[in-house]
């Protein structure tokens, strides 16, 4: 296929603005999939994607299209829209020369539209604005055109107005892809240089690496080398994604496709790696920033006898998702488990849901926490950790103030777009979350874009829900990593009848310790079953008790025979009992202590 007839492009947008629907229409128009079938989000293959209606894993499809007497090969890379998966967006963009920036004609520019636009802009890609859903009653494409001109400096006459649902004007999107996006700059005569931009794991064939060829050719039987690991492999299969895998004899520079070469897990086909031919080394392509976990949580089998099954499920799932980090961990009450790092809370929920749905595993997740840092002053600790600045991903290991010079917390630069009427309330919410305002701009007559620097721990659990509820669902939010800042942090213990519950240890800002401690004690009081004796619930910082609640004892010995053990877990402020068993009360006091240890989190 001549290079000048190839276009590599991505569709980027805020969540639900219609990327996947547009992708379906493009696949139909080019005859890649049958029009008669009821095609809905064909590229969303995972069960969670279909259930939640979101794209988690970027998918690729090659389309053929005839235009003005020439045949074109259009490689379309569908990308996720949610903030947690922006890492998938940026790596997809590295394989493209242009993007379709889809904006909903009713909702207009939203926070992720802005974030995704800047990813494309920084990668110097051609941006084609597409205003979608013009069929909606409240659609106002002219207003959206003006927003696009104001915020992105793209002339409004460059916008294409479509309805992906009805197929209106989708043809002109294909035309713009051909006319406005340049063909890839590649050299087929040079030795092979291929970028791995995604990889998946297949139980039978091993790793399937999605590659974009920048130079040369690759065929079945070639010996290739990973520039990252220097390991050599023999290519067993190459092909294009149509959108299902379709083997071909060769892949040429300019093409996007897949390659199978006996790699055993995705760490052997690292995203951003360059592949070259054996004995023909090349300058590696610039990789991408590696995925940085923002949220950590402990994960344990509900029953320790399930440990090995859960281990194998986690290993299999991470074969497909190299952005999850894994450390082994153990807890007094929950036994052996792991501490996993995720890109965000949605990523964590999706991972958990996939464990349950695809591997039938039931797990206990502990409170999500962010990676804090401490600069150590104690020479003993420095020796133990072998470094002065440590990252703490488990609050139970938070070092005491007497042993550190300073604590640091991760911060993010957040973008909020909202109808003006909610601005006041949103500003108050941000202030309550210790955020510092950086910018404020009207993107049209009644919509405002706010930029705030947030401590990550203030937004990780329920910020998004609060923002949505106080703006009746209209405000949108996205954030990017902004490094670390000094913070006055303290470790807060929760004690039950005087014993610390390791699983409930949290790191909080000094100014918030009282309110959080009080709220946690109150929640625990509501959750703990009453017993034959009194239970004291306390929150403490060091030896100082900052809050206390009491669960009163039953007066009469009516239920003496049974004690209920409950395991609680929570995501986004909801406490669920996920395991409850009734045991004979031999020694009631001992059992309640055990029971207390089994209460993981009651959410604050
Ligand atoms: P994520 O994969 O979650 O990022 O979403 P997406 O941007 O891919 O959106 P998707 O294509 O799943 O569409 C979201 C919703 O909008 C679906 O219910 C679509 O049916 C609907 N939708 C998409 N395009 C149009 C359109 O042109 N008009 C109308 N009325 N609805 C549309």
User: What's residue 600's pLDDT?
Assistant: 37
Cis before 243? omega within 30: yes
User: What's residue 354's pLDDT?
Assistant: 84
User: What's residue 89's pLDDT?
Assistant: 67
Q: Are strands 70-78 and 6-13 parallel, antiparallel or unpaired?
A: parallel
Any known ligand binding at 133? yes
**Band of pLDDT at residue 349, cut at 50, 70 and 90:** confident
**Band of pLDDT at residue 418, cut at 50, 70 and 90:** very high
Give residue-wise pLDDT tens across range 454-509: 999 998 877 888 898 899 888 999 888 899 999 999 999 988 778 787 777 889 99
Atom in ligand 1 nearest the alpha carbon of residue 54:
3
Q: Are strands 126-132 and 98-104 parallel, antiparallel or unpaired?
A: parallel
Any known ligand binding at 423? no
Q: Given a cut of 90, is residue 173 above it in pLDDT?
A: yes
**Band of pLDDT at residue 288, cut at 50, 70 and 90:** low
Residues with CB under 6 A from ligand 1: 13, 15-21, 41, 53-55, 80-81, 132-133, 135-136, 163-165
Yes or no: say if 73 and 64 are a contact pair by the CB < 8 Å rule: yes
Yes or no: say if 31 and 181 are a contact pair by the CB < 8 Å rule: no
Q: State the Cα–Cα distance between residues 514 and 539, nearest whole angstrom.
A: 9
Over residues 350-366, the mean pLDDT reads 82
Q: State the Cα–Cα distance between residues 376 and 465, nearest whole angstrom.
A: 36
Q: Which residue has the higher pLDDT, 99 or 502?
A: 99
List Cα–Cα distances, 489 to 80, 395, 407, 483, 521, in angstroms: 35, 11, 7, 17, 20
pTM of the complete model: 0.77
Q: Given a cut of 60, is residue 132 above it in pLDDT?
A: yes
| 125 Cα to the center of ligand 1, angstroms | 24
Place of tokens 């404020």: 440
Over residues 535-547, the mean pLDDT reads 90
| 19 Cα to the center of ligand 1, angstroms | 7
Using H for helix, E for strand and C for coil, what is the string for 215-265? ECEEECCCEEEECCCCCEEECCEEEEECCCEEEECEEECCCEEEEECCCCC
Q: State the Cα–Cα distance between residues 41 and 43, nearest whole angstrom.
A: 5
Q: Is 270 helix (H, G, I), strand (E, B) or coil?
A: coil
Give residue-wise pLDDT tens across range 34-77: 665 555 555 555 554 455 444 444 467 888 899 999 999 999 87
């Amino acid at each position: 296929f001549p290079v000048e007839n190839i276009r590599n492009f991505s569709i980027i947008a805020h969540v639900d603005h219609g990327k996947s629907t547009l992708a379906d229409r493009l696949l139909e128009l080019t005859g890649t999939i049958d029009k008669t079938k009821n095609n809905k989000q064909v590229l969303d293959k995972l069960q969670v994607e279909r259930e939640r209606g979101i794209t988690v894993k970027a998918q690729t499809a090659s389309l053929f299209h005839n235009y003005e007497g020439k045949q074109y090969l259009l490689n379309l890379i569908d990308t996720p829209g949610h903030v947690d998966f922006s890492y998938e967006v940026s790596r997809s963009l590295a394989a493209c020369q242009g993007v379709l920036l889809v904006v909903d004609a009713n909702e207009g520019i939203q926070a992720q539209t802005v974030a995704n636009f800047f990813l494309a802009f920084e990668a110097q890609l051609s941006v084609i604005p597409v205003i979608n859903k013009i069929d909606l009653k409240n659609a106002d494409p002219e207003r959206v055109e003006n927003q696009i001109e104001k915020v992105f400096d793209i002339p409004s006459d460059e916008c294409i107005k479509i309805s992906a649902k009805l197929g209106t004007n989708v043809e002109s999107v294909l035309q713009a892809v051909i006319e406005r996006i340049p063909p890839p700059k590649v050299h087929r005569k040079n030795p092979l240089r291929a970028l791995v931009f995604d990889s998946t794991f297949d139980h039978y064939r091993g790793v399937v690496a999605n590659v974009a060829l920048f130079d040369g050719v690759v065929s079945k039987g070639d010996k290739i080398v990973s520039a990252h690991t220097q390991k050599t492999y023999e290519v067993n299969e190459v092909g294009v994604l149509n959108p299902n895998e379709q083997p071909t004899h060769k892949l040429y520079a300019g093409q996007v496709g897949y390659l199978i070469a006996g790699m055993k897990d995705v760490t052997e086909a690292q995203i951003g790696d360059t592949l070259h031919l054996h004995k023909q080394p090349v300058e590696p392509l610039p990789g991408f920033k590696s995925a940085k976990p923002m949220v950590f949580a402990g994960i344990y089998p509900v029953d320790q006898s399930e440990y090995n099954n859960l281990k194998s499920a986690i290993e299999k799932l991470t074969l497909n998702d190299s952005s999850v980090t894994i450390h082994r961990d153990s807890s007094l009450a929950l036994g052996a488990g792991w501490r996993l790092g995720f890109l965000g809370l949605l990523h964590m929920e999706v991972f958990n849901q996939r464990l349950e749905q695809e591997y039938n595993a039931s797990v206990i997740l502990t409170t999500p926490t962010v990676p804090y840092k401490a600069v150590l002053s104690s020479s003993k600790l420095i020796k133990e950790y072998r470094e002065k600045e440590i990252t703490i991903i488990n609050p139970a290991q938070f070092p005491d103030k007497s042993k550190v010079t300073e604590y640091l917390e991760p911060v993010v630069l957040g973008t909020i777009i909202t109808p003006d009427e909610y601005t006041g309330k949103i500003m108050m919410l941000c202030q309550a979350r210790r955020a510092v305002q950086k910018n404020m701009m009207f993107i049209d007559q009644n919509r405002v874009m706010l930029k705030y620097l947030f401590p990550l721990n203030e937004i990780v659990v329920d910020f998004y829900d609060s923002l949505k509820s106080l703006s009746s669902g209209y405000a949108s939010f996205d954030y990017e990593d902004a490094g670390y800042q000094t913070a006055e942090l303290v470790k807060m213990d929760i004690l039950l009848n005087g014993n610390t519950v390791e699983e409930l240890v949290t790191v909080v800002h000094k100014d918030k310790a009282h309110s959080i401690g009080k709220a946690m004690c109150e929640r625990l009081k509501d959750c703990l079953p009453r017993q034959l004796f009194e239970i004291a619930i306390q929150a403490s910082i060091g030896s100082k008790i900052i809050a206390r609640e009491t669960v009163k004892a039953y007066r009469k010995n009516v239920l003496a025979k049974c004690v209920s053990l409950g395991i609680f877990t929570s995501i986004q402020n909801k406490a669920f009992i996920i395991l409850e068993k009734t045991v004979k009360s031999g020694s009631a006091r001992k059992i309640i202590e055990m029971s207390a240890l089994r209460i993981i989190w009651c959410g604050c």
